Structure formats: structure tokens, C-alpha cells
Structure 1
Amino acid sequence: MIKFFKIIAILEGFSYLFLFANMFITKNINLDLYKTILFPLGMAHGVLFIAYLILALLVKFKIKWTVNTFLIVCIASLIPFATFYVEKKYLKDIN
């Protein structure tokens, strides 16, 4: 489960960055591009975001994170590049 959480953390981080990049690129182009690119990417990011939070809760109980660590991990899902930090700092040595 922890390995799966690591993968989801990386994918969630990349999807967040791709979502921002596409948002800035497609916001002034046209509406069809929104429907074909941005909407599916946003849905994928939403699913990864929810999976990240659920898995963070499960991992919290499995490896007994403190409340502060758990909150840092959850807040990291809202900040670009922060899930990469969480993966390196809090999940690096855990198998």
C-alpha cells in the first residue's frame, strides 16, 4: 500500500502541474480545446487527488504518523511540487 501511495503521490504532482500548464495555454484559445484536453485532465487530477488523500489516511494509520505529519502530507496535495517533497522526505525509507 505504501508503494502505491508513493506512485499516486508522484502522479498527483505531475497531474497538478500538467493541469496548470494546460490551463494557462488553453484559457484564451477556444472552448473546444477545453473540452478535449483540460476537462479530462482535470477529471484525472481529481481522481488522483482523492486517491492521494484516502491513501494518506490509510498510510497514517499503518506507519503511525503524527497528526502534524499527516496534515503536512495533506496540505502538500494543494501546493505545486509539494507531493514530490512528501515522497522524498516522508516516504523515502519506508517500504
Structure 2
Amino acid sequence: MKRSVLTRYRVMAYVTAVLLLALTVGVIGKRLLHLDGFDGFVTGVGIAHGWLYIVYLVFAFDLGSKAKMPLGRLAWVLLAGTIPTAAFFVERKVTREVEPLVIKAPEPQTASA
């Protein structure tokens, strides 16, 4: 498996997790604390998280299929983007498990004079 498969999964896991945390804070501010000005924030972050979560699903499924993850573990990785802070922990664990499967790029040969 190429390193780029793992890298794009990791990037999307962090982006999705940060947006979900921001959305959670926005919803708490809007619904529980009844603070003004959170309507636009919650709408914008919610839309961004929704669309980017779909990209996360594609990249996570690609990683899971190439790493031959069991179906239960793949389901947990896919759902991690819907639970605040879960994606941070799941990403770290998946990276440790998948890192040995990454094909090392050949080192460039230097010409000797």
C-alpha cells in the first residue's frame, strides 16, 4: 500500500474531527447557552463537516479495503467521524496498525564520481 493512502486518510480524519468539535461547541452555544450569533456558525460548520465527512468515508474505506481490515473495525473507523474526539484516537490506532503495511519508497541512488 502506498503512503499516500494513509496520509490522505490521516488528513481527513483530523479535518473531520476538528470540524465536528467546532460544530459541537457551536451547537452547545446555540441550543444550551442560547448565545446570539451561533446560527450562521453552526450552519456553515455543519455543511462543511457533512461534505468533508463524505470525503473522509471514501478515504477511510479505501484505506480499510487496502489494509484488509475486518468489517467490524472498518465500521468503527467509518463511524469515528460522527463522535466528537473519537476520530483523533481511532486515527492514531489505525496509523500504528497500518504503518507496517506501507511500502517504503526506494531511496534515490547517488552517482559516484
TM-score higher than 0.5 here?
yes
User: What TM-score, normalized by structure 2, do the two folds share?
Assistant: 0.72
Select the residue among 29, 34, 37 that pairs with 2:39: 34
Select the residue among 35, 44, 49 that pairs with 1:45: 49
Q: Does 1:57 align with 2:65?
A: no
- 2:55 partner letter: A
Distance 1:67 1:76 in 2: 14
The share of aligned pairs that are identical, in percent, is: 25
Task: Please say if residues 12 and 56 of structure 2, whose CA atoms lie closer than 8 Å, have aligned partners that are also in contact.
Answer: yes
Task: Please say if residues 23 and 46 of structure 2, whose CA atoms lie closer than 8 Å, have aligned partners that are also in contact.
Answer: yes
State the number of aligned residues: 93
Q: Does 1:5 align with 2:9?
A: yes
Query: RMSD in angstroms over aligned alpha carbons?
Result: 1.7
- 1:29 partner letter: L
Match of 1:69 in 2: 73
Q: Which runs of 5+ in 2 are unaligned?
A: 103-113
**3-state DSSP class of the match of 2:95?**
coil
Distance 2:64 2:92 in 1: 16
- 1:70 partner letter: L
- 2:39 partner letter: Y
Q: Which runs of 5+ in 1 are unaligned?
A: none
Structure with the greater alpha carbon radius of gyration: 2
**3-state DSSP class of the match of 1:29?**
coil
**3-state DSSP class of the match of 1:64?**
coil
User: What TM-score, normalized by structure 1, do the two folds share?
Assistant: 0.84
